Copies of this chain bind each other. A is one copy, B any other.
Amino acid sequence: MNFLEERIVKDGKVKPNNVLKVDSFLNHQMDISLMEEIGREFHRRFADKKVTKVLTIEASGIGIACFVAKEFGVPMVFAKKSHSINIDSDVYVAEVESFTHKNKNNVIVSKQFLNEGDRVLIIDDFLANGCALQGLMSIVSSAGASVEGIGIVIEKGFQIGGQIIRNLGVQLESLAIIDAMDAETGTITFREQ
């Protein structure tokens, strides 16, 4: 097990309906030393890419993306979610339908902060069906920039998002891939990587 899998086993809580609570260290309370270690690990895994920008989506991706951007020495941009139908012309927009919540959201990034030629590393805390991630990829493409890779802290390997992105030929690095969880026993099965 790597450092993240060990932490998930120690402090994660498996709930019914394939819910994994990691809010004591990742997405409500944040362990800053762990964030720094995650930043260094993604930097190691994408060291050969000439990343010019780290992109994430509010809110829980922001902390992680900050420490990844710090390692690469580049700015971090976070996309905003908006229910509004009045969108300025100076932003890139992707309409994203949530498989889980069955609602639609706009994901928005100001045109100022993504440019043609930018080499973007996308970072997020969770990957399940990958709806938000597809929105971010669409925005990078609209900007004429390239997706150099995607770094995910925890991938739910039993949902479809990871497979879609790998099929698209994008380098996807998930620090932990969960293939199964059992709420009764609390056991978590990680994929061998």
Contact = CB atoms under 8 A, between A and B. Distances in A.
Given A58-B58, A58-B59, A110-B23, A29 B77 contact: yes
- Max chain B Cβ within 10 angstroms of own Cβ: one of A32, A70, A113: A32
A152 interface: no
A74 B36 CA distance: 13
A80 B59 CA distance: 9
A24 interface: yes
B110 A66 contact: no
- How many copies of this kind of chain does the complex include? 2
Given A36-B70, A62-B59, A80 B28 contact: yes
A113 B66 contact: no
Given A24-B113, A63-B63, A76 B36 contact: no
A143 to B, nearest CB: 13
A92 interface: no
A30 interface: yes
Contact of A30 (B23, B69, B73, B109): B69
Nearest to A24: B112
A133 to B, nearest CB: 18
A78 B30 contact: yes
Contact of A62 (B63, B80, B110): B63
Interface string A9-35: 000000000000001100011111001
